[in-house]
Amino acid sequence: MSNQQRKSRLGWSLDERDPKFIELFMPIWEWFYRNYFRVKTDGWENIPPEEQVLIVGSHNGGMATPDMIMMMYDWFRRYGTERLAYGLMHPYAWQVSPEVGKIAQKTGAIAAHPKPASAALKKGASVLVYPGGQYDMFRPYNQRYNINFAGNKAFIKLALRNEVPIIPAISVGAHETLIVLGDFYEIMKQLNNMGLPWLYRLDPGVFPIYLGLPWGLAIGPLPNIPLPVQIHTRICKPIIFKKYGAEASKNRNYVDDCYNLVCTYMQQEMDKLAREVNR
């Protein structure tokens, strides 16, 4: 296998997950859960006690993604660290910092690619995916209650091929732990075309300007320390499609319909949660 092939398969292994390593983080996550973000959550009865599911979330709060970590904590404290679950993480994470990638793998992170994701489901695990990726996590502050999956339908095909229900996960508050003012990606792309290299030579897809810690004013998709804003999370009722299987996953119109169904339902639930929190 060439170096390029090895690099492209970083994060594919399902064997790095370490329940005892996860348990080491539980007291730290608990402190943030109870004292820093003061999390309120509901809807966990919508997750079957034993069946595997594909949890689909909306990414919030920049690279810190505090609601994702708080949902991970909620999962582990309810079901234990032994119940198999993996989370899909952008492959760039392993290229930018292999050390961080290795730590994330021990908590259950695998590369966001159809093959390791399908392998996890075939292993009997549940999988957590944030289809919007960087486009979602750095969406402008005035869109903080919007579901933005950026047209990424791979998660629909994953659910159809592996015949698993989708469990939507939403949150309010996490996208106020930084204030994204706007996205200047198109300007930076022009500069890149003129010879200015991307950091780490990786095209980030977004180039936000945001207010947040520790920078004050940050330019670019930099790591952030989330502000201590209260987070409300909700696990919504399962979405079960009419048809499953390989053939269904290859039907473009059907995949589009399923995608629109998920986005519409999650937006409705997000609007409802935002009204409840802000009233």
Query: Is 53 inside any structural domain?
Result: yes
Query: Is 263 inside any structural domain?
Result: yes
pLDDT tens, position by position, 224-251: 999 999 999 999 999 999 999 999 999 9
How high is the pLDDT of residue 8? 59
Instruction: Determine if the pTM surpasses 0.85.
Output: yes
Query: Is 216 inside any structural domain?
Result: no
Residue 6 backbone dihedrals phi, psi, to 5 degrees: -60, -45
Query: Is 222 inside any structural domain?
Result: no
Bridge-based pairing of strands 179-183 and 208-212 is antiparallel
Residue 67: CATH number of its domain = 3.40.1130
Is residue 68 within 8 Å of 169, Cβ to Cβ? no
Query: Is 148 inside any structural domain?
Result: yes
Query: Is 208 inside any structural domain?
Result: no
CA atoms within 13 A on the CB side of 172: 19
One-letter identity of residue 212: G
What domain range is 19 assigned to? 3-178+228-278
Query: Is 89 inside any structural domain?
Result: yes
**Geometric angle at alpha carbon 110, from 53 and 246, rounded to 5°:** 50
Neighbours of 271 (CB within 10 A): 14
How high is the pLDDT of residue 200? 85
- pLDDT under 70: residue ranges of the chain: 1-8
Give buried/exposed letters for 176-200 (b at 16+ CB in 10 A, else e). Answer: bbbbbeebebeebeeeeeeeeeeee
How high is the pLDDT of residue 50? 84
